[in-house]
Homo-oligomer: A and B are copies of this chain.
Amino acid sequence: MPDNLTLDEIARRAGVSRTTASRVLNNGPNVRPEVRERVQRVIAETGYSPHPVARSLASQQSRVIGLVLPRRTEVLFNDPYFPRLTQGVAQACNDYDYTLALFLLQTAADEEKLYPRLSRKGLLDGVVVQAGQIGDDLIMRLLTSNLPVVVAGRPFHPGEVSYVDVDNVTGAYTGVMHLVKLGHQRIATIAGEMETTAALDRKAGYCQALQDCNLPIDESLIVEGYFTEIGGYQAMQRLLPQKPEAVFIASDTMALGALRAIHEAGLRVPQDIAIVSYDDLPPAMIAQPQLTTVHQPIHEFGIKAVELLLEVIKNGPIPPRQIMMETSLVIRQSCGAATREVVNGLNGF
């Protein structure tokens, strides 16, 4: 498929005008079947494929969308969450014939440098932005740039923006309720970074569950930490002196660290401390014992984000839409429940 082939050349070889060739190329109407077929044959024979940039310039749309992962994720790229999200987004891009441009904003300098490229209409038809930390104004800036934007996760300033989120409150609520039902009273939580809405919402779900069960909310049982293995390890070390019976941990990766701290202290899971975590990513299966965890549909989440973005691109940003995705509890060993549910979907890793 030689690159020097142009639509003009195709038209010439098929004995039609470039317009007609273009119509055939784009499955447009008003072409006699026999002519259409003739042009299609030439296209097939030559292996012609239209120049995407020329097409973009003329049609004013690039069929490229961006995925923006704010700099907080430099740390978090060690969390399988982001690869999984990226996979979902990439798959949706394939399915809808878009190309995915990836922007990792690892430093403030990166952000400044990349911002014009992000906001400038032309290269990108729209962007999916991972919800950032509380201080981040990236999303707000992007919104004023009149480029179609969808946020993955609940943004801090919801304003007039469309976003997809997982119902973190209910997810956490369900996880904690599970621990209550197993008879635990002194339930602690290792929350994530309070600069993220995900951590805030999961903490809220934890508190709500305790309240609904008439259990006291004990601030000394609530520990924050980074969403990393080390973060979970350190948080659990701080928590151990409080002698919790059970802990709800805001991510699988943190749970890995927490387990390490518990084992080092000579305690066992679930006999001495029961654990429920969040994500249901590969670490949940690798952990010893395997983790009872709140499953998030991260892959589908990425797909939905793209689908919502395509809608915004098509129909404009008004009215903003919010899509909420559901979680489900996956019961394994770390909670100590007798039930041992068979779990599918994590075989390949």
Measured CB to CB, the residues of A under 8 A from B are 1, 3, 49, 51-54, 56-57, 62, 64, 67, 74-75, 77-78, 80, 82-84, 86-87, 90-91, 94, 99-104, 106, 110, 113-114, 116-117, 119-123, 145-146, 228-230, 256-257, 260, 263, 282, 285-286, 288, 348-349
Bound: A103/B348 CA distance, A: 20
Closest B residue to A64 by CB, please name it: B101
Whether B123 and A53, one on each chain, are in contact in the complex, defined by CB atoms closer than 8 angstroms, is yes
- In the assembled complex, the CB of A54 is this many whole angstroms from the nearest CB of chain B, namely 6
Q: Which residues of chain B are within 8 angstroms of A67 by Cβ–Cβ distance?
A: 102
Find chain B residues with CB under 8 A from A114 CB.
Answer: 94
The CA of A84 and the CA of B74, in the complex, are separated in Å by 10
Whether the Cβ atoms of A101 and B101 lie closer than 8 Å is yes
Q: Are B120 and A104 interface neighbours, CB within 8 A?
A: no
Using known A-B contacts A1-B119, A53-B53, determine if residue A77 contacts B84 with beta carbons closer than 8 Å.
yes
Docked pose: A74 CA to B257 CA in angstroms: 26
Instruction: Name the 9 nearest CB pairs between A and B, nearest first.
Output: A78-B349, A90-B104, A3-B121, A52-B123, A102-B102, A51-B122, A53-B56, A77-B83, A53-B122
Q: Pick the contact of A120 from B3, B56, B119 — CB < 8 Å? A: B3
Chain B residues with Cβ under 8 A from A113's Cβ?
94
The chain B residue sitting closest to A109, CB to CB, is B94
Contact indicator A53/B49 (Cβ below 8 Å): no
| Distance A110 CA – B260 CA, assembled complex (angstroms) | 40
Asked if B282 contacts A229 (CB within 8 A), the reply is yes
Give the complex CA separation of A226 and B27 in angstroms.
45
One of B75, B100, B122, B285 near A348 (C-beta < 8 A): B75
Known: A52-B120, A116-B49. A3 touches B146 (CB 8 A): yes
User: What are 16 of the A-B contact pairs (CB < 8 Å)?
Assistant: A1-B116, A49-B116, A49-B120, A52-B117, A52-B122, A57-B57, A74-B87, A77-B87, A78-B80, A78-B282, A82-B83, A83-B83, A91-B104, A229-B286, A256-B286, A260-B288
